[in-house]
């Protein structure tokens, strides 16, 4: 394994040992807006994905059934999760949109506890929710995009409608399953 928890060497494109990635699905309007920003600012040769909020970067593939079970339980327990776009985040050589959501933070904490012993070092730490719209560019280019977006960005409320589970395939991700929040409790 490499330091980010993804297999080093080898081909994960057609493998059942491809790492699992868990995301919080964005609402349609915020997803479309952020995907537009991502298409405008992410290096084209590296942009395989629509906008998303990653909760876990590399869960082990052998835990697939356990992870699916946890997602199903939480989706059945909670309704859509309140969130807010709040600003711009500097990623060093990239740019992200800050997202605040106490409910999604609680869900991630609960999952982090359930997945104890399965998490990479990257996934063990605290997580600031964000939507990456640019990565792997010069600091100057990232700063210019951050200034541009800060001038027009207005905070906006939305709800996360679901959790999504994906397999990492070395480029595009393969959707495993979507877990729509349909419960009565607020996260």
Q: What is the CATH number of the domain that holds 176?
A: 3.90.1140.10
Residue 111 lies in a domain: yes
pLDDT bin (cut points 50, 70, 90) of residue 73 is very high
Angle at 27 between CA 19 and CA 104, to 5 degrees: 60
Name every residue whose Cβ is closer than 8 Å to that of residue 37 and which is 6 or more positions away in sequence: 51, 97, 133, 149
* Residue 1 belongs to a domain: no
Q: For residue 122, which of 16, 17, 21 has the smallest C-alpha distance?
A: 21
Asked whether residue 170 is domain-assigned, the answer is yes
Look at residue 15 in the predicted model and tell me its pLDDT: 53
Say what the pTM is: 0.89
Closest CA to 76 of 64, 68, 84: 68
Numbers of helices and strands, H then E, in the chain: 5, 8
The answer to whether residue 7 is domain-embedded is no
Measured distance CA(170)–CA(76) in Å, rounded? 31
Q: Which pLDDT belongs to residue 16?
A: 81
Beta bridge partners of 157: 84
Query: In this structure, is residue 2 part of a structural domain?
Result: no
Residue numbers of the domain that contains 124: 20-180
Rounded to an integer, the average pLDDT of 59-71 is: 97
Identify which of 60, 54, 62 has the alpha carbon closest to the alpha carbon of residue 132: 54
Query: Residue 123's closest CA among 131, 134, 111, 135?
Result: 111
Residue 100, in any domain of the structure = yes
Specify if 81 maps to a domain.
yes
pLDDT tens-digit series, residues 34-43: 999 999 998 8
H-helix or E-strand spanning residue 90:
strand 81-90
Average pLDDT over residues 157-167: 98
Structural domains in the chain (count): 1
In angstroms, the CA 12 to CA 98 distance is 31
Q: Is residue 145 part of a domain?
A: yes
Residue 186 contacts by C-beta under 8 Å, 6 or more apart in sequence? Answer: 78, 79, 82, 103
Please tell me which residue, 118 or 7, carries the higher pLDDT value: 118
CA 170 – CA 9 distance, rounded (Å): 11
Mean pLDDT, the chain, integer: 91
pLDDT tens figures, 126-144: 789 999 999 999 999 999 9
What tokens appear for 147 in the block? Answer: 């200034």
């Amino acid at each position: 394994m490499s330091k980010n928890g993804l297999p080093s060497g080898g081909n994960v494109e057609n493998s059942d040992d491809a790492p699992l990635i868990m995301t919080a699905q964005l609402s349609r309007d915020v997803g479309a807006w952020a995907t537009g920003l991502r298409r405008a600012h992410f290096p084209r040769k590296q942009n395989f994905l629509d906008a998303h909020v990653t909760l876990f970067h590399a869960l082990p593939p052998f835990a697939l059934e356990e992870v699916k079970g946890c997602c199903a339980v939480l989706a059945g327990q909670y309704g859509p999760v309140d969130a807010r776009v709040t600003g711009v985040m500097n990623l060093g050589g990239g740019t992200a949109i800050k997202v605040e959501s106490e409910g999604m933070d609680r869900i991630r904490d609960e999952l982090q506890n359930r997945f104890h012993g399965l998490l990479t070092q990257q996934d063990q730490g605290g997580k600031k929710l964000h939507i990456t719209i640019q990565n792997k560019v010069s600091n100057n280019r990232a700063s210019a995009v951050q200034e541009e977006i800060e001038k027009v960005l207005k905070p906006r409320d939305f709800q996360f409608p679901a959790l999504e589970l994906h397999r990492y395939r070395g480029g595009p991700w393969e959707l495993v399953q979507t877990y729509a929040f349909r419960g009565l409790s607020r996260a």
